[in-house]
Amino acid sequence: MSELIAKILYQLNILIEASTRVDEQSYRITIEGNSLDTDLIQVIKNIIQLSIELELERPNVIIDEDSVNFQEEDDESLFLDQPWRLILAKTSIAKQLKARENESTFLFISLNGFQKWLKSIDPFVKNSNFDPDFSVPVTFRVQGLKISFGGPMLWVLPIGAESPKIIESSLPESSDVRGLIHINTDRTVNIYPNGFALTWGNVDAPEAKHLRYLSAMVLSVCLSQELKHIGGDLKITLKGAKRIVLPLTDSTEIPSSTFLESLVEAVRWVYAEKPETRLKLLMDRLSIDIQTDQTFLKGMECFLNDAIHQAKDSYDFVILDRKDAYYKELREVMKDMKSQADLFASKIRDLVASLTRDILGVMFAVGFAFFGKFDPSKLQELLTSTHLALFLKVLSGYLVLSFTLQLSIHWADAKLSESESKKWLSVLRNYTTKADNDDYFVRPIEKRKWSLRIGLVVAGIIYFLSAFIVWNLQCIVHALLP
């Protein structure tokens, strides 16, 4: 912290002590008094001069409802005993107090102003562009604060405190929470467990009580099934063994740091694996224990530890039962997928067998008809025989017809098998990852399909070439003879 910043903060503190009303927001502070004296005029002039030296936005000074710049020619005696107000934008000062890169830094000149501001904010709704965005790292620098505390993204530090060493959080992202719970609202609601969790420092200190309250609100919503946020009214719905609707909290509840730790651990456990199952197990117990005249936060403080313990025990049994069902169903699915793969292989074998049978049959028929009564003296007569020509054309037509029928049957059967395999693949996606699905099922079956397609093309070429040769056999033999 620079010397000039320390000086302007000191002057502002003098002004606050002499004021009758202070309204401090995240981006500005308004200090008011009923009677101005020469000492206060000098303090205000010092603040204006320091703002100029720090290249800050000039404070707005209003005396008796008139804006005053305190020029040298002003008669300061005219301002004495008049009501006054100073409005100072704090954003530029806060930027010079950053603890981290890429953070939003907010300065509070008084601890009391910080506490009053915390009471006014809604952790789920951003009311203006001047409010902190808790989806990114946020640091509050508070003058008068003696301790440091915070969480993975939210830091609360004294003005000159060093940056703490923080371990990365394993809390869920906002998108994970919104994907699990149903939100019914008339405004844009944001849930940032990382942005409000308090996991380090003296969280149990009185200075942290309002942030503990906000943190508990956000973390407890992460462990609900439905949030209703209408007109600022917050309701939680539990759908466990019983369905109950509860108010989230009331303003008198200040959770302890121990309860906050339990909330953090519960949120981590629920969202670590199969969050739908884990949350359902937790809600089953809480919906029985929490009374309808309690708030959700109070009920959680009373029963969360027992409920999370039972949910963890139940989860092991649920997963074991599901694993047995999973492996049984997976074996059945894999058998069906294997039969689909074998079907493509059997079609190729059938195609080769049919091709071999037809070629041998044609060769036998041609040999019997053409050479069975072979007489060299009558060879020329055979080559010009119309009866032999008709017989050869019939054999050629048989080859074409045989291939056409096989192509139609195999193609139709392959399309049907492909449709069935897609159905089984859709079932299989419930049991395997997409990568395993592709590696062990999709690609091997696709290779089988391509083998069948290539086999049909090769068989078609051989069939039509054989048909062409048989059709023109007389001409071919005549051309080959000397």
What angle (nearest 5°) sits at the alpha carbon of residue 85, between those of residues 80 and 87? 140
How far apart (Å, rounded) are the C-alpha atoms in residues 41 and 82?
11
How far apart (Å, rounded) are the C-alpha atoms in residues 132 and 123?
10
How far apart (Å, rounded) are the C-alpha atoms in residues 216 and 222?
10
b/e code 216-225 from CB counts within 10 Å (16+ = b): bbbbbbbbbb
Taking only the tens place, the pLDDT of each residue in 90-107 is 999 999 999 888 899 999
Phi first, then psi: what are they for 86, rounded to 5°? -120, 130
Taking only the tens place, the pLDDT of each residue in 340-370 is 667 777 777 777 778 787 777 777 776 666 5
Taking only the tens place, the pLDDT of each residue in 31-43 is 999 988 889 989 9
Q: What pLDDT does 408 receive?
A: 84
Contacts of 297 (CB under 8 A, 6+ apart): 216, 217, 220, 248, 249, 253, 255
Is 1 in a helix, a strand, or coil? coil
Helix, strand, coil share (%) of the chain residues, nearest 5: 60, 15, 30
How far apart (Å, rounded) are the C-alpha atoms in residues 8 and 435?
61
Beta-strand relationship, 226-230 and 182-185: parallel
Q: What are the residue ranges spanned by the domains of the chain?
A: 3-95, 116-236, 323-480
How far is the CA of 338 from the CAs of 324, 341, 343, 417, in angstroms? 21, 5, 9, 12
Q: What pLDDT does 431 receive?
A: 54
Of the candidates 150, 113, 99, the one whose C-alpha atom is nearest the C-alpha of residue 26 is 113
Instruction: CATH number for 3-95: choose from 3.10.20, 3.30.70, 3.10.28, 3.30.410.
Output: 3.10.28
Phi first, then psi: what are they for 413, rounded to 5°? -65, -40
Please say whether the beta carbons of 82 and 37 come within 8 A: no
Taking only the tens place, the pLDDT of each residue in 428-469 is 555 555 666 677 677 777 777 788 788 888 888 888 888 888
362 Rama class: left (phi>0) / alpha (psi -120 to 50) / beta: alpha
Taking only the tens place, the pLDDT of each residue in 137-180 is 999 999 999 999 999 999 999 998 888 887 777 899 988 998 88
Higher pLDDT, 283 or 410: 283
| pLDDT tops 90 at residue 481 | no
Q: What pLDDT does 319 receive?
A: 63
